[in-house]
Structure 1
């Protein structure tokens, strides 16, 4: 008889060991199922099969521990169990109603057809609602920690309860409740690999989502294409300031900037370190390295959070590069998170090292009122409040809207969930109607309005929170010296293709009441911050 033990298995408990030990030695005849009935199976337990779910996930709130460490814990755990034990990694495949069947097929496949599990030869050890999927397939459920299924009640702490206790503890190795419940195999692995500190940082992270995503609404396929399309432009803009040696790219997305840098002969002796928080993008980086897309073999990737802690050793880096990242920290985290991010980068650089930060930028004097003309003839002007469940349908609709109507939709959607929406009024001057609003908010619309493919995601992001002067002041306060080559600028392609004949800004002369046309706001900034 087999015992199948499915779960994420980030930690193993003393209860689990004793429960399995008893099933092996006392047999299954008098063991009770999840409904309290005796199982009555006389066959001895032949093997225990651990199905480690979400094996392809790590560094996330739901799955902080990588599969290889979970597997090591299980093998140590099983050393004192007098039966064979198997460990199989089961990848997360999203929402799948027949995930139990998928797991059984994976075990059969990974075991080279040796383990053909069915209700006649296998019992399931499970105390979570996952048991329902296996029960529907006819399997007998052994309840483990579960003392009541309606409602769910447990006789002891669940493994995930222990993970959360560790994440909230200052010194988890000394906490009595943790020590009393954790199995020594898990304690040893967690202590050796400092998993308590890792999990504490992940669980307390205000930016990352449960599955390792900054935002759940981003279309990563279009996002990846955009990153690759502009990689060479980004690299050429920053290449002159890169110092050879240890070069880090934080928020490296799919590794496009590093790929460009690896092809530069000036950096053939350098080591490259790509840091990416979003799980999907990190997985792509690893795949690209496996494919041999990086000319320099000394390319390493890590899934880490650069806000809550250092991602490189103190004073170890010659160059740190970030692109289109700092506005996401401000948008999805807080101002305190952004200031902490700046401080961390300063601490990671060696003396003379440089942080190259390329991102969107806000205008100077962002609080000043402006009058914004919007084209009403370049698309439809009806029903800007229409709702869509499908992102593609929303993108198609937005692309058909006039610039004016798209602004109305922007004003409705922009940072609505955060309670940080813009305010505006409509004013007629002469024969023309204008939108009157602060320059900063006008710039937000102008810089965001064309990201229709990821509209729902972009509506969470503020681009124009700091001007170039604000950035310079904050960097200098952190100890950096901002090089003279740093500057804010208006991308000529954006000006020609996204601003001209679509939107224009004016200020009002207080004496004459006439409008005076303003230059378009800056779109980007290149900040070269050196540590001395």
Structure 2
């Protein structure tokens, strides 16, 4: 008879060991199932099968440890049980109602047919709501720690309770609760590989979701396509400023910039390090490396957050590249997080190293009031405030709005969840309609109005919080020397394809409206550590 033990298995406990040890010694006959009824099967356990779920996830609050570390702990855990122990990784496949069936098929496949687990030859050990996935298929359930399934009360600390104690204050190795409940197979491994420090760092990070994403409303298919489409432009802009040696790309998305840099003969002897916090994008980077898409074999990817700590050794990097990243730190984290990010980059660069930061930027006169004329004939002007349950329907709806109606929608949605209220006034002058507002808010709308597919995600982001001179000052305050080649500029393609015929800006002077040039949209900041 087999014992199937599904779970994420970030660590194992004394309770779990004793529970399984007793099953092995006494047999299954008298063991009560989740209904309180003895299994009534005197057959001995022939093997215990650990199904390690979310095996493809790591470095997140929900799944801090990689599969191989979890498997090492399980192997040591099973060594003294006296029962053959088998370990199979089961990838995360989202919220799948048939996940139990998927897990069984995965084990059958990974074991090359050695294990065909059915209610006739297997009992399942589970003390979380996951048990219902197997119960519905007819499996008898051993409740382990579970005392009451109506309240999900447990008789002993659960593994995740121990993880949270480790993530708390103080030294986890001396925490009495941790020592009482954590099995030595996990304790020794966590201590040897300093996993407690990793978990503490992940739990402190409030900017990233439990599953390792900076936002849960982004359409990554669209996002990845956009990143690849503009990768060459980004590389051409930044390539003249890259310095040979150790080259890092923080927020590397799907590795497109690194892929182009690897093909540049100047950097044939360089090493490349891609840092990406979003799990979905990191997985694509790893797949591209497995596919052999990088000409330079010395390419290494890590899933880390560059805000909460250093991602490279101190004074080790010759070039750090970031693109369209720093505004996300301000948007999803905050000002303190952005200042910490700047400080971290200074610490990581070697003397003479350079941080190449390409991003959006705010205008110098961002607090001045401007009058904005918006096209009202390029779409609908009514029902701008409808709600939709899915992203695709919202995108289709937004594409049908006029630029004017799109602004009204933007004014309602922009950073609403962050508590921002966009202030504006509608005016009529010489038979024309205008919107009066701060230049920074006008720039926010102009830069964001065409992001229909990722509207909800973009509504969290701010582009204009610092002007170029403010950026320069903050970098210098951190110890950087900002090179004279650094500049803010107005992207001609954006002007031609996004602004012209859609939005016109004016300044009011003496009761008259004077046309304004389109403001800056982007910047290139070259910050050297001297």
Matches within 5 A, 1:330-479: 330-479=330-479
2:529 maps to 1:531: yes
- Deviation of residue 300 (structure 1)? 0.3
Separation (CA, whole Å) in 1 of partners of 2:130 and 2:169: 29
Unaligned regions of 5+ residues in structure 1, if any? Answer: none
Kindly tell me: are residues 150 and 394 of structure 1, through their superposed partners in 2, closer, same or farther at Cα, counting changes over 3 Å? closer
2:19 maps to 1:19: yes
SS in 2 for 1:295: coil
SS in 1 for 2:109: helix
2:208 maps to 1:198: no
Q: Deviating runs (4+, > 2 A) in structure 1?
A: none
2:174 alignment partner in structure 1: 174
2:317 alignment partner in structure 1: 317
Instruction: Give aligned pairs, total.
Output: 530
2:275 alignment partner in structure 1: 275
SS in 1 for 2:55: coil
1:518 alignment partner in structure 2: 516
Tell me whether 196-205 or 339-348 shows the greater mean CA deviation: 196-205
1:72 alignment partner in structure 2: 72
SS in 1 for 2:248: strand
Separation (CA, whole Å) in 1 of partners of 2:459 and 2:218: 11
Separation (CA, whole Å) in 2 of partners of 1:245 and 1:462: 34
- Deviation of residue 12 (structure 1)? 0.4
SS in 2 for 1:157: coil
1:193-228 Cα offsets, whole Å, 9 max, x none, are 111111111122111112111111111111111111
1:305-352 Cα offsets, whole Å, 9 max, x none, are 100000000000000000000011011111100000000000000111
Separation (CA, whole Å) in 2 of partners of 1:409 and 1:252: 32
- Deviation of residue 233 (structure 1)? 0.6
Matches within 5 A, 1:267-306: 267-306=267-306
1:266-285 Cα offsets, whole Å, 9 max, x none, are 00000000000000000000
Separation (CA, whole Å) in 2 of partners of 1:141 and 1:169: 36
Separation (CA, whole Å) in 2 of partners of 1:135 and 1:453: 40
SS in 1 for 2:163: helix
1:212 alignment partner in structure 2: 212
Separation (CA, whole Å) in 2 of partners of 1:300 and 1:202: 21
Separation (CA, whole Å) in 1 of partners of 2:400 and 2:288: 36
Separation (CA, whole Å) in 2 of partners of 1:356 and 1:389: 40
- Deviation of residue 393 (structure 1)? 2.1
Q: What's the Cα RMSD here?
A: 0.9
1:162 alignment partner in structure 2: 162
1:18-64 Cα offsets, whole Å, 9 max, x none, are 11001100111111111211111100011000000011111112111
Separation (CA, whole Å) in 1 of partners of 2:280 and 2:421: 30
Separation (CA, whole Å) in 2 of partners of 1:114 and 1:206: 43
Separation (CA, whole Å) in 2 of partners of 1:241 and 1:188: 46
- Deviation of residue 390 (structure 1)? 2.5
SS in 2 for 1:416: coil
- Deviation of residue 391 (structure 1)? 1.6
- Deviation of residue 71 (structure 1)? 0.6
1:57 alignment partner in structure 2: 57
TM-score normalised per structure 1: 0.99
Separation (CA, whole Å) in 2 of partners of 1:365 and 1:145: 62
- Deviation of residue 429 (structure 1)? 2.1
Unaligned regions of 5+ residues in structure 2, if any? Answer: none
SS in 2 for 1:42: coil
1:114-136 Cα offsets, whole Å, 9 max, x none, are 11111111111100011111111
Separation (CA, whole Å) in 2 of partners of 1:112 and 1:500: 61
TM-score normalised per structure 2: 0.99
1:414-435 Cα offsets, whole Å, 9 max, x none, are 1111111311111122221211
Separation (CA, whole Å) in 1 of partners of 2:311 and 2:192: 19
1:159-187 Cα offsets, whole Å, 9 max, x none, are 00001110113211111111111111101
2:151 alignment partner in structure 1: 151
SS in 2 for 1:104: helix
SS in 2 for 1:283: helix
- Deviation of residue 377 (structure 1)? 1.2
Separation (CA, whole Å) in 1 of partners of 2:468 and 2:206: 26
SS in 2 for 1:43: coil
Separation (CA, whole Å) in 2 of partners of 1:332 and 1:456: 13
SS in 2 for 1:377: coil
